[in-house]
Structure 1
């Protein structure tokens, strides 16, 4: 059912990809820019809820309630967004009619997906109808992909395919489609932001590495690009660069209507980032007790065949609550296993974010085929925690999980 309505959303995007650009041009206050920002805010807040659930801060029941409420808020924002004005031509009038037709379809899909179908009072489609329509949409996208294999020099086609895969949650395929579009189009800010978002989903919602590099290019081309400002702020926040996140989100806030829901969400995130800055400053001014963690890292024998001696091994500690940037990190080779290493303040990536500044941490290890710190599919990882940081602590980490 969720796939079907995602496919309906794909139809909307496929239609909008053709009909809106002539109307919207590059205006950042356009309805499309607002919808893009709404979607980015929705995804980020949903990921935050999921992290709270995984960390035990939200019960499954409370998570479901919060998720439904978030979806309703997103729908209200979507319905409140202004419809782009039609151009004074026959095509423009047709465009307005198409927008009026397809946008409500997406709204209905969102209501049903999140359990609010009774609010509309419509009868649910039969399962056979859903399956047939789902199959029809998937076949349409498959035909587009097939055509692009035969005629690859079609940048608009690759963009359309990338957007379709995104709403169908096929993120790796979306990233590949955007990569093809990038090869043909180059440093277009809209494309760079979409490409970065797709790669972030592939990386488990992390923007470090190539996604952030793409966002930097987007902002070099257009310093006021809403989605690039939003995502680059998230990237900085994830890595503990709170002052940079504040700078990005303040720039974004200046582009939004002051009383809008978007502006309210951005102000909330700004408050969180500013709170982290104050917390870091307060902790930096306090004398810190020395802290160190002795870590013994071993590999599950069942996974030994997956590991090459030259694979990169990362061992690091993160705050159990707070910034995601590692507080201490060591880089070795898989051939060094089993490994005994001590993590301490001298290994901090950011001077103000040290092991001794946080009461509880997670200790993790990660074997990387690519040499990148961000786990990729097929990499092997393990972790323990949260553990209290008091003086000298000893833990054992077993590498026993394969990244899906």
Structure 2
């Protein structure tokens, strides 16, 4: 922001110099010329009149000399008066203009400008120091860009990490409104409402959960939530079924697997104690791995910098707006080949193997933001299971 204001100040001074210096010089020269010409014309007219009167015998030689002297004194007096007027106007009026122009420009910029967005862009170029700073940035982002679903989603996740489920529920609701009722957003929304209501499985929570599973039977947040609710209601077979489905879509090294397995065992013990049948574990889904070759179009070589951030990611073709798997590199690494798999998932519940169709994207961002950049390359919609090796060329300016 400091650099912006310094640059604006320098440009303003240069603009004022270009406008005021010629204006003042031209106005002063023109005013002096016009006033002098008028005074000389009046003086000459007065002298001619005196000469005519002298020739007609109306004035003698002494009276003629006296008239000429009076005309000369009047000419000098008019010249002195014009100089005084020029000094008053020439000194204060340009000064007033020089003050009013930048003040008016500043007022218009603060009213209609994008200083907040510029400040936010500058802040996003550096990593947040703590979760409070991250929350503040996300709140500012959604205030300035209320239709950005990714920011609403991550704001909801941040609220949940801060034990603010009511605020998180509102954020997820807004994300679902902007991006559509995607199953992942509905699952997060239902979970936030569940904790906001004191861990009560209300009618709204149930409705959101059912809608999410109808859209995606493997939606992990919803599976975990339904398992908890079923266990609390002593529906142990249902709880075990939900959690087994959840384990089947989690990575082997996922830290939450141990806790879920513990819940499954407790539910199994309750079923055995009751003499009820224990449900079998569902078949797991095979992991997905994609290879992506990314290059930069030759015509963009002089428009990017080696240290610009390069984000390569896959997102659901019909699903949440946030990336499923992503890698961060630099423009200096291009051309490059990367591998995207379930191990690169941004969140455990959002994996490539959970989605039938995806789109690959490569984005260059000078500010280092994964959500917006200057240049982009993207693939058509791909079948996840058949994607294999793909080639991306960054060749388009990203639409703001």
TM-score computed with the length of structure 1 as normaliser: 0.42
Structure of greater Rg: 2
Q: TM-score, normalised by structure 2?
A: 0.42
Which has the higher relative contact order, 1 or 2, with Cα contacts under 8 A spaced 6 or more apart? Answer: 1
